[in-house]
Amino acid sequence: MDYALLKSVHMTCAGLSGAGFLLRSMVALRDPDRLRRSRLARSLPHLVDTVLLVSALAMVFQWPGGFAQAGWLHTKIALLVAYIGLGAVALSPRRPRRLRIPAFALACACFGLIVASAITKTPLGMGS
């Protein structure tokens, strides 16, 4: 598939993923069980995140210089793992609010760093 198209799909899914996480976090902070009752809130994020990752992988295979040389991509993957883990804690109805709120803040920080590293192509998005 064309690289520019993959990048557009990836960026659209990145936006949807971030906005969806914010929305679900707002709902979960008020009523954590509500997310479990909504079929859309349970299934749509998986679809968006799958397309986000598949488009990422398809671009990585075409990345000039190869994946091994791209430190910012390695950082992005590590931050993505942290974002998923922290996001799961932030949205979990089983966790106390005093844990969910800092997990939400840290997940947002990870998301911001992922976007910054994608834009600057440097590991922590601090420029070269």
**Nearest to ligand HEM of 13, 28 (CB atom):** 13
**Nearest to ligand HEM of 34, 47 (CB atom):** 47
Q: From the CB of 35, what's the least distance to ligand HEM, in Å? A: 19
Q: From the CB of 67, what's the least distance to ligand HEM, in Å? A: 8
Q: DSSP letter for 122, please.
A: S
**Nearest to ligand HEM of 66, 96 (CB atom):** 66
Q: From the CB of 40, what's the least distance to ligand HEM, in Å? A: 20
Please give the biggest Cα pair distance in the chain. Answer: 47
Q: DSSP letter for 28, please.
A: H
CA separation for the pair 42, 35 (Å, rounded):
7
Q: Which residue has the tokens 């992005």?
A: 76
C-beta separation of 92 from 99 below 8 A:
no
Binding site for ligand HEM (CB under 6 A): 7, 10-11, 14, 17, 52, 56, 59-60, 63, 73, 76-77, 80, 83, 111, 114-115, 118-119
**Nearest to ligand HEM of 10, 24 (CB atom):** 10
CA separation for the pair 13, 49 (Å, rounded):
7
Q: Record the tokens describing residue 64, joined without a space.
A: 């000039």
Q: From the CB of 103, what's the least distance to ligand HEM, in Å? A: 16
CA separation for the pair 9, 57 (Å, rounded):
12
